[in-house]
Structure 1
């Protein structure tokens, strides 16, 4: 199978309900029955981990090694694209759907909007710092990139923790499955075939068993096949090149 078998998709893979979700689950924030909540938590986990790794990898990378700075800059740009798209979908579709069901959530959504505006600005700063490092190839430019990644990782940690505390329980309780299906179907993040498989690997890497099932079931058949045939192998190789160590799982 060639790479062209994986068509660029308009969707970042979103977890679907698995068979074990038919078993009654406890109500409240601990419940993962809502597909939207599962997707949010997987995406948050991915981004938190990768931003922290970028800060660490950047801090000890050779400042003047073009191949290394290009690899880290490319990874920072990809993670930034994924998170910026995620925030756009939340801002334009997820939270409006939640507010239609729970008008009282407006204050929490407004607080989220303010926090995410800062995070989005910092994401663009990281991409700019990465490009400047590529051009300059100096220790100060490398350190500026690593510092920007560290600050962003800390901001995202705070922002996602607050979102998971205040908004995800409401999402799990009040967002209708049909609303989430419509949001997922209309969410256009332009990932190429290789990017799609790489992001899939990032999402699967340290997800729990239930989330892995949901994630894979939410993918087109062609992407699941590509992942099984060669995607997992290529993901492992890409992670070793990027981190100098294999994936967690």
Structure 2
């Protein structure tokens, strides 16, 4: 969403996509920690549910890793080129190294949880521990990133440069996973803008993707 003020009519980059991506990471790590904690405490988890949880978490790890890779390879260079010494991203890059280590553990434990011969309660407890760690790291990192990055984008980055960032982000992402999550975690106002900018075919595709996503969500919910 672009914005202007009474004294500045410059069109600004739209960081809505990044905001929603951050919102989804935090919401997913929190809700899956709650789901796996209930399973660890004895809630029923037949093989189909365990497989759906494991699949979702693997896709989530792919999504978070892709997001951070785009930041390291595209976003940070754009910020430095635009703002120079006004921006410092070293600590944010260091966070990505820590997060990648946690994501590696999360992948392993999700796979163990989904295995046919898993001790489901024990695997769920280990998974909950890792999801809690991922959520804590992401919460701290995202808060700092939005505090540092968004004002720099707003003040220094050109719209066409930010559009290049968004194109790069879409290029390597799994849209069948990302688009329904975007719809799930967008606000009503954000969804209105999304639908207003989408043609009839895109709206039909959105509906199909969301329905497929919702079927898996029903299995995950048990």
Where does residue 181 of structure 2 map in the other structure? 202
Distance 1:64 1:221, change over 3 A: closer
How far the C-alpha of 1:115 sits from its partner, in A, is: 1.0
Distance 1:114 1:123, change over 3 A: same
Structure 2 stretches lacking a partner, 5+ long: none
Where does residue 147 of structure 1 map in the other structure? 129
Distance 1:217 1:200, change over 3 A: farther
SS of 2:172's equivalent? coil
1:174 aligns with 2:174: no
Distance 1:26 1:99, change over 3 A: farther
Q: What is the alpha-carbon distance in structure 2 between the residues aligned to residue 217 and residue 124 of structure 1?
A: 39
1:242 aligns with 2:220: yes
Where does residue 146 of structure 2 map in the other structure? 164
Q: What is the alpha-carbon distance in structure 2 between the residues aligned to residue 38 and residue 26 of structure 1?
A: 22
Mapping for residues 16-27 of structure 1, pairs under 5 Å: 17=1, 21=2, 24-25=4-5
Q: 1:47 aligns with which of 7, 20, 25?
A: 25
CA contact (8 A) 2:48 2:219 kept: no
Greater relative CO, 1 or 2 (CA 8 Å, sep 6+): 1
How far the C-alpha of 1:184 sits from its partner, in A, is: 2.4
Decide which structure has greater helix share.
2
Distance 1:65 1:98, change over 3 A: same
- Number of equivalent positions: 213
CA contact (8 A) 1:25 1:33 kept: no
How far the C-alpha of 1:221 sits from its partner, in A, is: 6.3
Q: What is the alpha-carbon distance in structure 2 between the residues aligned to residue 220 and residue 90 of structure 1?
A: 29
Distance 1:42 1:145, change over 3 A: same
Q: 2:59 aligns with which of 78, 85, 91?
A: 78
How far the C-alpha of 1:242 sits from its partner, in A, is: 1.9
Where does residue 103 of structure 2 map in the other structure? 123
CA contact (8 A) 2:12 2:158 kept: no
Distance 1:86 1:72, change over 3 A: same
CA contact (8 A) 1:63 1:69 kept: no
- How large is the RMSD of aligned CA atoms in angstroms? 2.6
Where does residue 65 of structure 1 map in the other structure? 46
How far the C-alpha of 1:190 sits from its partner, in A, is: 4.4
Distance 1:26 1:48, change over 3 A: farther
Q: What is the alpha-carbon distance in structure 2 between the residues aligned to residue 219 and residue 91 of structure 1?
A: 30
Q: TM-score, normalised by structure 2?
A: 0.83
